[in-house]
Structure 1
Amino acid sequence: MKRWRLLTLSLLVGLVMATSTAVADGDLPTVSTPSVTILSGNGDDDQATTNDDSSQAVRAAKHRLYIPRRTATPTEDIRWPSRRIWIYMDTHDRAIQSAFKSAVSAWNRVGVVHLRWTKNEGRADIIARDGSLSSNSNSTTPGVGYTTSQLGSTSTQYNPDTHALINARSTLDPDQLDYASHHFRTEVAEHELGHALGLAHAPEYMHSVMIPRNVKTGIARLDRQTLRQLYNDEQ
Protein backbone atom coordinates (compact mmCIF):
# COMPACT_ATOMS: atom_id res chain seq x y z
CA MET A 1 0.00 0.00 0.00
CA LYS A 2 1.27 3.46 -0.87
CA ARG A 3 0.36 6.72 0.81
CA TRP A 4 -0.56 9.66 -1.36
CA ARG A 5 -1.66 13.16 -0.55
CA LEU A 6 -4.70 14.61 -2.27
CA LEU A 7 -5.28 18.33 -2.63
CA THR A 8 -8.38 20.08 -3.88
CA LEU A 9 -8.29 23.68 -4.98
CA SER A 10 -11.35 25.62 -5.98
CA LEU A 11 -11.93 28.84 -7.87
CA LEU A 12 -14.84 30.81 -6.49
CA VAL A 13 -16.76 33.77 -7.85
CA GLY A 14 -19.12 36.23 -6.18
CA LEU A 15 -22.28 36.64 -8.23
CA VAL A 16 -24.39 39.73 -7.65
CA MET A 17 -27.88 38.82 -6.46
CA ALA A 18 -30.85 39.98 -8.52
CA THR A 19 -32.13 43.40 -7.43
CA SER A 20 -34.32 46.10 -8.89
CA THR A 21 -31.20 47.99 -9.97
CA ALA A 22 -29.30 46.79 -13.04
CA VAL A 23 -25.59 46.06 -12.71
CA ALA A 24 -23.46 48.53 -14.63
CA ASP A 25 -21.60 47.28 -17.68
CA GLY A 26 -18.02 46.40 -16.86
CA ASP A 27 -18.70 45.30 -13.29
CA LEU A 28 -16.69 42.16 -12.64
CA PRO A 29 -17.56 39.32 -10.29
CA THR A 30 -15.23 38.82 -7.37
CA VAL A 31 -13.47 35.55 -6.81
CA SER A 32 -13.33 34.63 -3.12
CA THR A 33 -10.69 32.76 -1.16
CA PRO A 34 -10.40 29.13 -2.40
CA SER A 35 -11.19 26.10 -0.35
CA VAL A 36 -8.32 23.68 0.23
CA THR A 37 -9.26 20.17 1.30
CA ILE A 38 -6.84 17.51 2.47
CA LEU A 39 -8.38 14.06 2.27
CA SER A 40 -7.13 11.82 5.06
CA GLY A 41 -7.02 8.07 5.56
CA ASN A 42 -6.24 5.75 8.45
CA GLY A 43 -6.62 8.61 10.91
CA ASP A 44 -3.67 10.57 9.49
CA ASP A 45 -4.22 14.31 9.33
CA ASP A 46 -2.72 14.97 5.92
CA GLN A 47 -2.31 11.64 4.19
CA ALA A 48 -4.66 9.53 2.12
CA THR A 49 -4.09 5.85 1.58
CA THR A 50 -4.71 4.26 -1.78
CA ASN A 51 -3.51 1.19 -3.61
CA ASP A 52 -2.58 3.00 -6.82
CA ASP A 53 -0.39 0.95 -9.13
CA SER A 54 -1.00 3.13 -12.19
CA SER A 55 1.87 4.07 -14.47
CA GLN A 56 1.72 7.60 -13.06
CA ALA A 57 2.06 6.28 -9.51
CA VAL A 58 4.98 4.02 -10.41
CA ARG A 59 6.72 6.86 -12.20
CA ALA A 60 6.04 9.28 -9.33
CA ALA A 61 7.62 6.95 -6.77
CA LYS A 62 10.95 6.50 -8.57
CA HIS A 63 12.90 9.45 -7.22
CA ARG A 64 12.52 12.77 -5.42
CA LEU A 65 11.93 15.65 -7.81
CA TYR A 66 13.75 18.96 -7.58
CA ILE A 67 11.44 21.72 -6.34
CA PRO A 68 12.89 25.26 -6.29
CA ARG A 69 12.67 27.19 -3.03
CA ARG A 70 11.87 30.50 -4.67
CA THR A 71 9.67 31.04 -7.68
CA ALA A 72 8.08 34.09 -9.27
CA THR A 73 4.65 33.04 -7.99
CA PRO A 74 3.80 30.39 -5.36
CA THR A 75 3.71 26.68 -6.18
CA GLU A 76 2.25 23.67 -4.38
CA ASP A 77 5.77 22.15 -4.17
CA ILE A 78 4.71 19.43 -6.59
CA ARG A 79 5.10 18.83 -10.32
CA TRP A 80 4.84 16.15 -12.97
CA PRO A 81 7.83 13.78 -13.37
CA SER A 82 7.65 14.28 -17.15
CA ARG A 83 7.00 17.42 -19.17
CA ARG A 84 4.81 15.42 -21.55
CA ILE A 85 1.42 15.28 -19.87
CA TRP A 86 -1.66 13.52 -21.23
CA ILE A 87 -5.07 15.15 -20.81
CA TYR A 88 -8.53 13.65 -21.42
CA MET A 89 -11.69 15.62 -22.23
CA ASP A 90 -14.54 14.31 -20.07
CA THR A 91 -17.30 16.74 -21.06
CA HIS A 92 -19.75 17.10 -23.91
CA ASP A 93 -20.41 20.76 -23.15
CA ARG A 94 -19.05 22.60 -26.19
CA ALA A 95 -18.35 25.85 -24.34
CA ILE A 96 -16.38 24.04 -21.64
CA GLN A 97 -14.56 21.96 -24.27
CA SER A 98 -13.59 25.12 -26.12
CA ALA A 99 -12.33 26.77 -22.91
CA PHE A 100 -10.16 23.79 -21.99
CA LYS A 101 -8.76 23.48 -25.52
CA SER A 102 -7.81 27.15 -25.57
CA ALA A 103 -6.28 26.88 -22.09
CA VAL A 104 -4.20 23.85 -23.09
CA SER A 105 -2.91 25.72 -26.16
CA ALA A 106 -2.03 28.70 -23.97
CA TRP A 107 -0.02 26.63 -21.49
CA ASN A 108 1.71 24.78 -24.33
CA ARG A 109 2.79 28.10 -25.87
CA VAL A 110 4.86 28.74 -22.73
CA GLY A 111 7.17 26.05 -24.11
CA VAL A 112 7.87 24.22 -20.84
CA VAL A 113 5.33 21.40 -20.62
CA HIS A 114 3.59 19.63 -23.48
CA LEU A 115 -0.05 18.87 -22.76
CA ARG A 116 -1.31 16.31 -25.24
CA TRP A 117 -4.92 15.25 -25.73
CA THR A 118 -5.75 11.56 -25.51
CA LYS A 119 -8.96 9.68 -26.20
CA ASN A 120 -7.91 7.00 -23.72
CA GLU A 121 -9.09 8.05 -20.25
CA GLY A 122 -6.97 5.36 -18.62
CA ARG A 123 -3.85 6.90 -20.13
CA ALA A 124 -4.63 10.43 -18.98
CA ASP A 125 -2.71 12.31 -16.32
CA ILE A 126 -5.25 15.16 -16.22
CA ILE A 127 -9.02 14.86 -16.63
CA ALA A 128 -10.75 17.99 -17.93
CA ARG A 129 -14.44 17.85 -17.11
CA ASP A 130 -17.60 19.75 -16.27
CA GLY A 131 -19.67 19.42 -13.13
CA SER A 132 -21.92 21.24 -10.71
CA LEU A 133 -19.89 22.87 -7.96
CA SER A 134 -22.52 25.18 -6.48
CA SER A 135 -23.45 22.73 -3.71
CA ASN A 136 -19.85 22.87 -2.48
CA SER A 137 -19.79 26.56 -1.78
CA ASN A 138 -23.14 28.33 -2.09
CA SER A 139 -23.34 30.70 0.82
CA THR A 140 -24.56 34.24 1.32
CA THR A 141 -21.99 36.62 2.78
CA PRO A 142 -23.51 38.47 5.78
CA GLY A 143 -23.98 42.16 5.09
CA VAL A 144 -23.01 41.86 1.44
CA GLY A 145 -25.45 41.56 -1.44
CA TYR A 146 -23.94 38.59 -3.25
CA THR A 147 -23.65 34.85 -2.99
CA THR A 148 -20.45 32.88 -3.36
CA SER A 149 -20.37 30.21 -6.05
CA GLN A 150 -17.61 28.09 -7.48
CA LEU A 151 -16.56 28.45 -11.09
CA GLY A 152 -13.97 25.71 -11.12
CA SER A 153 -12.15 23.20 -8.97
CA THR A 154 -8.98 21.15 -9.34
CA SER A 155 -8.01 18.12 -7.27
CA THR A 156 -4.53 16.63 -7.44
CA GLN A 157 -3.08 13.37 -6.17
CA TYR A 158 0.66 13.23 -5.57
CA ASN A 159 3.43 11.40 -3.78
CA PRO A 160 4.51 13.54 -0.77
CA ASP A 161 7.88 11.77 -0.59
CA THR A 162 8.92 12.58 -4.16
CA HIS A 163 6.76 15.70 -4.74
CA ALA A 164 5.55 14.04 -7.94
CA LEU A 165 2.04 14.49 -9.29
CA ILE A 166 0.15 11.29 -10.07
CA ASN A 167 -3.12 12.59 -11.47
CA ALA A 168 -5.31 15.67 -11.52
CA ARG A 169 -8.93 16.53 -12.23
CA SER A 170 -9.94 20.01 -13.33
CA THR A 171 -13.65 20.81 -13.29
CA LEU A 172 -15.52 23.83 -14.66
CA ASP A 173 -19.14 24.50 -13.68
CA PRO A 174 -21.12 25.11 -16.91
CA ASP A 175 -24.07 26.62 -15.04
CA GLN A 176 -21.92 29.26 -13.35
CA LEU A 177 -20.09 30.01 -16.62
CA ASP A 178 -23.13 29.83 -18.91
CA TYR A 179 -23.29 33.58 -19.56
CA ALA A 180 -19.56 34.23 -19.43
CA SER A 181 -17.56 35.06 -22.55
CA HIS A 182 -15.28 32.50 -24.16
CA HIS A 183 -12.34 34.68 -23.09
CA PHE A 184 -13.37 34.57 -19.43
CA ARG A 185 -14.10 30.82 -19.48
CA THR A 186 -10.66 30.24 -20.99
CA GLU A 187 -8.99 32.26 -18.23
CA VAL A 188 -10.81 30.19 -15.61
CA ALA A 189 -9.66 27.02 -17.39
CA GLU A 190 -6.09 28.37 -17.50
CA HIS A 191 -6.29 28.99 -13.74
CA GLU A 192 -7.49 25.46 -13.03
CA LEU A 193 -4.92 23.83 -15.31
CA GLY A 194 -2.30 25.96 -13.58
CA HIS A 195 -3.20 24.12 -10.37
CA ALA A 196 -3.04 20.82 -12.27
CA LEU A 197 0.54 21.70 -13.26
CA GLY A 198 1.58 22.45 -9.67
CA LEU A 199 0.98 26.21 -9.38
CA ALA A 200 -0.65 27.68 -6.28
CA HIS A 201 -2.66 30.86 -5.79
CA ALA A 202 -0.76 34.07 -6.34
CA PRO A 203 -1.06 37.17 -4.10
CA GLU A 204 -3.64 39.75 -5.14
CA TYR A 205 -1.01 42.34 -6.06
CA MET A 206 0.63 40.11 -8.67
CA HIS A 207 -0.17 40.10 -12.38
CA SER A 208 -0.98 36.40 -12.66
CA VAL A 209 -3.67 34.03 -13.89
CA MET A 210 -3.38 32.31 -10.51
CA ILE A 211 -4.88 35.20 -8.51
CA PRO A 212 -7.83 33.74 -6.52
CA ARG A 213 -10.00 36.86 -6.81
CA ASN A 214 -11.18 38.23 -10.15
CA VAL A 215 -9.53 36.39 -12.98
CA LYS A 216 -8.06 39.60 -14.37
CA THR A 217 -5.61 38.17 -16.84
CA GLY A 218 -4.63 35.11 -18.77
CA ILE A 219 -1.24 33.43 -18.38
CA ALA A 220 1.19 36.24 -17.58
CA ARG A 221 4.97 36.68 -17.57
CA LEU A 222 5.24 35.69 -13.90
CA ASP A 223 3.26 32.50 -14.56
CA ARG A 224 5.57 31.57 -17.43
CA GLN A 225 8.61 32.25 -15.28
CA THR A 226 7.25 30.12 -12.43
CA LEU A 227 6.55 27.19 -14.75
CA ARG A 228 10.12 27.36 -16.08
CA GLN A 229 11.51 27.47 -12.57
CA LEU A 230 9.29 24.64 -11.33
CA TYR A 231 10.25 22.37 -14.21
CA ASN A 232 13.89 23.47 -13.99
CA ASP A 233 13.87 25.34 -17.28
CA GLU A 234 14.87 28.86 -16.26
CA GLN A 235 15.99 31.38 -18.84
Structure 2
Amino acid sequence: MKRFVNLISLAFLSWGLLNVPDSQASVTSPLDGVNAFSTATDDITDLPDSPQAQRAAAKQLTIPSSSPIPLEGYRWPSRQITVYMATQDHQVQAAFREAVKKWNQTKAVHLHWIKSRQRAEVIVTDGDLQTTGNSNVGYVTSQLGSTETQFNPDTHAMIRAKSTLDAAKLRYVNRQYRDHVAEHELGHALGLAHAPEDYQSVMIPRNIRRGISKLDRQAIRNLYGLN
Protein backbone atom coordinates (compact mmCIF):
# COMPACT_ATOMS: atom_id res chain seq x y z
CA MET A 1 0.00 0.00 0.00
CA LYS A 2 1.47 3.33 -1.01
CA ARG A 3 1.89 5.87 1.73
CA PHE A 4 0.02 9.10 1.09
CA VAL A 5 1.18 12.12 3.01
CA ASN A 6 -0.66 15.40 2.70
CA LEU A 7 1.92 18.15 2.99
CA ILE A 8 1.24 21.69 1.94
CA SER A 9 4.02 24.22 1.59
CA LEU A 10 2.91 27.82 2.03
CA ALA A 11 4.92 30.68 0.54
CA PHE A 12 3.89 34.27 1.05
CA LEU A 13 4.89 37.50 -0.65
CA SER A 14 4.13 40.63 1.34
CA TRP A 15 4.90 44.30 1.63
CA GLY A 16 5.40 46.50 4.65
CA LEU A 17 4.35 50.11 4.97
CA LEU A 18 5.74 52.32 7.72
CA ASN A 19 3.52 55.18 8.87
CA VAL A 20 5.56 58.38 8.50
CA PRO A 21 4.57 62.02 7.86
CA ASP A 22 3.55 62.74 4.27
CA SER A 23 6.53 65.03 3.81
CA GLN A 24 8.87 62.10 4.51
CA ALA A 25 6.95 59.32 2.78
CA SER A 26 8.19 57.60 -0.36
CA VAL A 27 6.66 54.70 -2.27
CA THR A 28 9.27 51.95 -2.55
CA SER A 29 6.97 48.93 -2.09
CA PRO A 30 9.33 47.03 0.23
CA LEU A 31 8.48 43.34 0.25
CA ASP A 32 9.02 40.72 2.89
CA GLY A 33 8.76 37.01 2.21
CA VAL A 34 7.74 34.41 4.76
CA ASN A 35 7.99 30.65 4.30
CA ALA A 36 5.70 28.46 6.40
CA PHE A 37 4.78 24.79 6.34
CA SER A 38 1.41 23.39 7.32
CA THR A 39 -0.55 20.18 7.21
CA ALA A 40 -3.81 22.10 7.11
CA THR A 41 -6.11 21.10 4.28
CA ASP A 42 -8.15 23.23 1.92
CA ASP A 43 -9.65 22.97 -1.55
CA ILE A 44 -6.41 21.86 -3.20
CA THR A 45 -6.30 18.72 -1.07
CA ASP A 46 -6.67 15.45 -2.97
CA LEU A 47 -7.61 11.97 -1.87
CA PRO A 48 -4.88 9.30 -2.23
CA ASP A 49 -6.58 7.82 -5.29
CA SER A 50 -7.01 11.09 -7.19
CA PRO A 51 -5.31 11.23 -10.62
CA GLN A 52 -2.96 13.97 -9.42
CA ALA A 53 -1.90 11.98 -6.34
CA GLN A 54 -1.43 8.79 -8.37
CA ARG A 55 0.82 10.59 -10.86
CA ALA A 56 2.87 12.05 -8.02
CA ALA A 57 3.33 8.62 -6.41
CA ALA A 58 4.26 6.78 -9.61
CA LYS A 59 7.93 7.71 -9.91
CA GLN A 60 10.61 9.21 -7.72
CA LEU A 61 11.97 12.41 -9.20
CA THR A 62 15.52 13.73 -9.09
CA ILE A 63 15.98 17.24 -7.74
CA PRO A 64 19.25 19.04 -8.60
CA SER A 65 21.66 19.32 -5.68
CA SER A 66 22.76 22.80 -6.76
CA SER A 67 20.89 25.60 -8.48
CA PRO A 68 21.47 29.29 -9.27
CA ILE A 69 18.10 29.98 -7.61
CA PRO A 70 16.97 28.10 -4.46
CA LEU A 71 14.59 25.19 -5.03
CA GLU A 72 11.68 24.01 -2.89
CA GLY A 73 12.77 20.37 -3.24
CA TYR A 74 9.95 19.13 -5.46
CA ARG A 75 8.59 19.60 -8.98
CA TRP A 76 5.86 18.41 -11.32
CA PRO A 77 6.15 14.86 -12.75
CA SER A 78 5.58 16.22 -16.25
CA ARG A 79 6.63 19.40 -18.03
CA GLN A 80 3.05 19.67 -19.33
CA ILE A 81 1.12 21.39 -16.51
CA THR A 82 -2.57 22.27 -16.45
CA VAL A 83 -3.85 25.55 -15.00
CA TYR A 84 -7.36 26.63 -14.02
CA MET A 85 -8.40 30.29 -13.69
CA ALA A 86 -10.57 30.58 -10.58
CA THR A 87 -10.85 34.36 -10.39
CA GLN A 88 -13.23 36.80 -12.03
CA ASP A 89 -11.02 39.80 -11.27
CA HIS A 90 -9.84 41.16 -14.62
CA GLN A 91 -6.54 42.57 -13.34
CA VAL A 92 -5.62 39.32 -11.60
CA GLN A 93 -6.63 37.35 -14.69
CA ALA A 94 -4.40 39.52 -16.87
CA ALA A 95 -1.47 39.17 -14.46
CA PHE A 96 -1.68 35.38 -14.33
CA ARG A 97 -2.11 35.08 -18.11
CA GLU A 98 1.02 37.15 -18.62
CA ALA A 99 2.88 35.11 -15.99
CA VAL A 100 1.94 31.84 -17.72
CA LYS A 101 3.17 33.27 -21.01
CA LYS A 102 6.50 34.32 -19.47
CA TRP A 103 7.18 30.96 -17.79
CA ASN A 104 6.29 29.14 -21.01
CA GLN A 105 8.91 31.25 -22.80
CA THR A 106 11.60 29.57 -20.69
CA LYS A 107 10.86 26.35 -22.64
CA ALA A 108 11.26 24.41 -19.39
CA VAL A 109 7.54 23.78 -18.92
CA HIS A 110 4.33 24.24 -20.84
CA LEU A 111 1.52 25.64 -18.73
CA HIS A 112 -1.82 25.38 -20.50
CA TRP A 113 -5.28 26.50 -19.47
CA ILE A 114 -8.14 24.07 -18.91
CA LYS A 115 -11.78 24.60 -17.92
CA SER A 116 -11.97 21.89 -15.26
CA ARG A 117 -10.93 22.88 -11.75
CA GLN A 118 -11.00 19.25 -10.66
CA ARG A 119 -8.54 18.17 -13.35
CA ALA A 120 -6.20 21.14 -12.96
CA GLU A 121 -2.81 20.83 -11.34
CA VAL A 122 -2.41 24.56 -10.66
CA ILE A 123 -5.28 26.79 -9.58
CA VAL A 124 -4.83 30.56 -9.81
CA THR A 125 -7.21 32.86 -7.99
CA ASP A 126 -7.63 36.04 -5.96
CA GLY A 127 -8.29 36.37 -2.26
CA ASP A 128 -8.21 38.64 0.76
CA LEU A 129 -4.82 37.76 2.20
CA GLN A 130 -3.88 38.35 5.79
CA THR A 131 -2.72 41.72 7.05
CA THR A 132 -0.69 41.84 10.25
CA GLY A 133 0.85 44.69 12.15
CA ASN A 134 1.25 46.72 15.29
CA SER A 135 -0.53 50.06 15.21
CA ASN A 136 1.46 51.16 18.27
CA VAL A 137 4.66 51.25 16.24
CA GLY A 138 2.99 52.12 12.94
CA TYR A 139 4.14 49.08 10.93
CA VAL A 140 1.77 46.94 8.87
CA THR A 141 2.64 43.93 6.71
CA SER A 142 0.19 43.04 3.95
CA GLN A 143 0.46 39.89 1.88
CA LEU A 144 0.31 40.51 -1.85
CA GLY A 145 0.38 36.87 -2.90
CA SER A 146 0.59 33.34 -1.59
CA THR A 147 1.13 29.87 -3.01
CA GLU A 148 0.07 26.59 -1.42
CA THR A 149 1.73 23.50 -2.83
CA GLN A 150 0.70 19.94 -2.06
CA PHE A 151 3.42 17.37 -2.73
CA ASN A 152 4.49 13.79 -2.14
CA PRO A 153 7.60 13.79 0.12
CA ASP A 154 8.60 10.26 -0.96
CA THR A 155 8.84 11.04 -4.66
CA HIS A 156 9.45 14.82 -4.54
CA ALA A 157 6.52 15.18 -6.95
CA MET A 158 3.96 17.95 -6.77
CA ILE A 159 0.29 17.02 -6.59
CA ARG A 160 -1.58 20.32 -6.75
CA ALA A 161 -0.84 24.00 -6.20
CA LYS A 162 -2.89 27.12 -5.67
CA SER A 163 -1.52 30.62 -6.26
CA THR A 164 -3.47 33.58 -4.90
CA LEU A 165 -3.09 37.32 -5.48
CA ASP A 166 -4.72 39.92 -3.26
CA ALA A 167 -6.59 41.97 -5.85
CA ALA A 168 -7.46 44.81 -3.48
CA LYS A 169 -3.86 45.41 -2.38
CA LEU A 170 -2.53 45.10 -5.92
CA ARG A 171 -4.83 47.91 -7.08
CA TYR A 172 -2.15 50.26 -5.77
CA VAL A 173 0.60 49.06 -8.11
CA ASN A 174 1.02 49.23 -11.87
CA ARG A 175 0.30 46.41 -14.29
CA GLN A 176 3.95 45.44 -14.72
CA TYR A 177 4.37 45.03 -10.98
CA ARG A 178 1.21 42.86 -10.77
CA ASP A 179 2.62 40.72 -13.57
CA HIS A 180 5.88 40.25 -11.66
CA VAL A 181 4.03 39.25 -8.48
CA ALA A 182 2.08 36.67 -10.50
CA GLU A 183 5.34 35.39 -12.03
CA HIS A 184 6.78 35.11 -8.50
CA GLU A 185 3.83 33.05 -7.26
CA LEU A 186 3.85 30.76 -10.30
CA GLY A 187 7.57 30.32 -9.71
CA HIS A 188 6.68 28.79 -6.34
CA ALA A 189 3.98 26.68 -8.03
CA LEU A 190 6.66 25.29 -10.36
CA GLY A 191 9.14 24.46 -7.60
CA LEU A 192 11.31 27.55 -7.10
CA ALA A 193 11.92 28.95 -3.62
CA HIS A 194 12.69 32.50 -2.48
CA ALA A 195 16.02 33.95 -3.66
CA PRO A 196 16.80 36.56 -0.98
CA GLU A 197 20.36 37.18 -2.23
CA ASP A 198 19.57 37.72 -5.92
CA TYR A 199 18.18 41.20 -6.50
CA GLN A 200 17.61 40.50 -10.20
CA SER A 201 15.49 37.38 -9.64
CA VAL A 202 11.71 37.41 -9.80
CA MET A 203 11.88 35.10 -6.79
CA ILE A 204 13.38 37.73 -4.50
CA PRO A 205 11.03 38.14 -1.50
CA ARG A 206 11.31 41.93 -1.42
CA ASN A 207 11.56 44.79 -3.91
CA ILE A 208 10.82 42.83 -7.08
CA ARG A 209 12.50 44.89 -9.77
CA ARG A 210 11.95 42.86 -12.89
CA GLY A 211 10.46 39.70 -14.28
CA ILE A 212 12.00 36.28 -14.88
CA SER A 213 15.79 36.63 -15.02
CA LYS A 214 18.46 34.64 -16.84
CA LEU A 215 19.24 32.74 -13.63
CA ASP A 216 15.53 32.07 -13.01
CA ARG A 217 15.35 30.60 -16.49
CA GLN A 218 18.47 28.50 -15.88
CA ALA A 219 17.14 27.25 -12.54
CA ILE A 220 13.74 26.17 -13.88
CA ARG A 221 15.38 24.41 -16.83
CA ASN A 222 17.78 22.62 -14.46
CA LEU A 223 14.90 21.61 -12.21
CA TYR A 224 13.05 20.00 -15.13
CA GLY A 225 16.16 18.28 -16.50
CA LEU A 226 16.85 20.40 -19.57
CA ASN A 227 20.38 21.68 -18.82
Q: Do both proteins adopt the same fold according to a TM-score greater than 0.5, normalized to the shorter chain?
A: yes
Give the paired residue count.
Answer: 222
* % identical equivalent positions: 46
Q: Could you tell me how far apart the structure 2 residues matched to 1:141 and 1:166 are?
A: 40
The 8 Å contact of residues 46 and 52 in structure 2, kept in 1 or not, is answered as no
User: Unpaired runs of 5+ in structure 1?
Assistant: 42-48
1:31 match: 31
From 106, 109, 118, give the equivalent of 2:114: 118
2:143 match: 150
From 132, 145, 162, give the equivalent of 1:169: 162
1:219 match: 212
1:179 and 2:172 matched: yes
The 8 Å contact of residues 46 and 53 in structure 2, kept in 1 or not, is answered as no
The 8 Å contact of residues 204 and 213 in structure 1, kept in 2 or not, is answered as no
The 8 Å contact of residues 33 and 194 in structure 2, kept in 1 or not, is answered as no
Q: Could you tell me how far apart the structure 1 residues matched to 2:184 and 2:82 are?
A: 18
Q: One-letter code of the match for 1:167? A: R
Q: Could you tell me how far apart the structure 2 residues matched to 1:4 and 1:67 are?
A: 20
User: Structure 1's 113 and 142: CA in aligned 2 closer, same or farther, altered over 3 A?
Assistant: farther
User: Unpaired runs of 5+ in structure 2?
Assistant: none
CA displacement, residues 42-99 of structure 1 (integer Å, 9 cap, x when unaligned): xxxxxxx973322111011011101110011100110000000000000000000000
How many angstroms does 1:146 deviate by? 3.3
Q: Could you tell me how far apart the structure 1 residues matched to 2:61 and 2:201 are?
A: 25
The 8 Å contact of residues 16 and 29 in structure 1, kept in 2 or not, is answered as no
Q: Could you tell me how far apart the structure 1 residues matched to 2:38 and 2:225 are?
A: 27
1:193 match: 186
User: Structure 1's 142 and 231: CA in aligned 2 closer, same or farther, altered over 3 A?
Assistant: farther
User: Structure 1's 142 and 35: CA in aligned 2 closer, same or farther, altered over 3 A?
Assistant: farther
The 8 Å contact of residues 199 and 209 in structure 2, kept in 1 or not, is answered as no
2:16 match: 14
From 130, 134, 140, give the equivalent of 1:140: 134
From 80, 87, 93, give the equivalent of 1:84: 80
Q: Could you tell me how far apart the structure 2 residues matched to 1:142 and 1:224 are?
A: 43
Secondary structure in structure 2 of the residue aligned to 1:185: helix
1:45 match: none
Query: More displaced, 81-90 or 209-218?
Result: 209-218
The 8 Å contact of residues 204 and 212 in structure 1, kept in 2 or not, is answered as no
The 8 Å contact of residues 11 and 153 in structure 1, kept in 2 or not, is answered as yes
CA displacement, residues 96-146 of structure 1 (integer Å, 9 cap, x when unaligned): 000000000000011110000011111100000000003xx4113875x43
The 8 Å contact of residues 199 and 208 in structure 2, kept in 1 or not, is answered as no
Q: Could you tell me how far apart the structure 2 residues matched to 1:107 and 1:223 are?
A: 10
1:46 match: none
Q: TM-score, normalised by structure 1?
A: 0.88
CA displacement, residues 184-207 of structure 1 (integer Å, 9 cap, x when unaligned): 000000000000000000023442
